[in-house]
Amino acid sequence: MEDIIKEYASGYEMLREAIEGLTEEGLRYKPAPDKWSIHQILIHVADSEMSSTSRLKKVLAEDEPTLISFDQDAWANNLGYDLLDREQYLLLFKLLRLSMQTILDNLTSEQTERVGVYVDQARFNFKQLLVFRVEHVRGHLAQIERVKKAYRESQGS
C-alpha cells in the first residue's frame, strides 16, 4: 500500500514532467478528429480526479455508499474542454491529491478494506479504488506520450 500511496502523491509531478517543454501547438495537437489533445487529456484527468476524490472519501466516511461514475466523453464534448484553463485544472488536480495526503498517511488496514458499491452492483474496496487512481494517471501518461510521438511525426521530426 505504501508504494501505491507514494505514486498517488507523485501524480502531479509526473503530469508536469510529461508536458515539460511542449509548445501550445503541441499541447493542442489532436492525432485524429476523434482523439483527445494533451490539453484535453489534462482537463479530463482533473475532472476524473474531482469525481473520484469524492468517491474515495465516501468509501472511508460512509457505510457501503453508492458510487456513481461520470460519462467522460459527455464531459469532454459538452463542457468546452478546449476553452478551459489548463493551468487551473492542473492546480485543481494537485490540490485534490494534496487534500487526500493526510488521510492516506493515517489510513488503517481496516479502512483499506471499506467498500463502495457502484450502481451496477460492482463492489470495490478503498485500496482497489486508490489503485485505479494510480493506474488512471499511468494510462493517461502513456496516452500523452503517444500524442507527443504523433505530433513529432506530423512535424517531420
125-141 residue pLDDT tens? 999 999 999 999 999 99
Helix (H) / strand (E) element for 31: namely none
| Residues 148-157, mean pLDDT to the nearest whole number | 90
Q: How many helical (H) and strand (E) elements, i.e. helices and strands, does the chain have? A: 8, 3
**DSSP secondary structure letters along 18-53:** HHTT--HHHHH--SSTTS--HHHHHHHHHHHHHHHH
Q: Which residue has the cell 479502512?
A: 111
45, pLDDT greater than 80? yes
What are the tens digits of pLDDT across the range 81-125? 999 999 999 999 999 999 999 999 999 999 999 999 998 879 999
Q: What is the C-alpha to C-alpha distance for residues 19 and 81, in angstroms, rounded to an integer?
A: 17
Neighbours of 11 (CB within 10 A): 22
Q: pTM of the predicted model, to two decimals?
A: 0.94
Q: What is the C-alpha to C-alpha distance for residues 129 and 113, in angstroms, rounded to an integer?
A: 10
User: CB–CB of 127/115 below 8 Å?
Assistant: no
Question: Class of 2-154 per CATH?
Answer: mainly alpha
SS3 of residue 63 by DSSP: coil
Helix (H) / strand (E) element for 9: namely helix 2-9
40, pLDDT greater than 90? yes
Q: What is the C-alpha to C-alpha distance for residues 88 and 93, in angstroms, rounded to an integer?
A: 9
Could you state, in order of their start, the residue ranges of all structural domains in the chain? Answer: 2-154
157, pLDDT greater than 70? no
Mean pLDDT of the chain: 95
What are the tens digits of pLDDT across the range 56-89? 999 999 999 999 988 999 999 999 999 999 999 9
SS3 of residue 88 by DSSP: helix
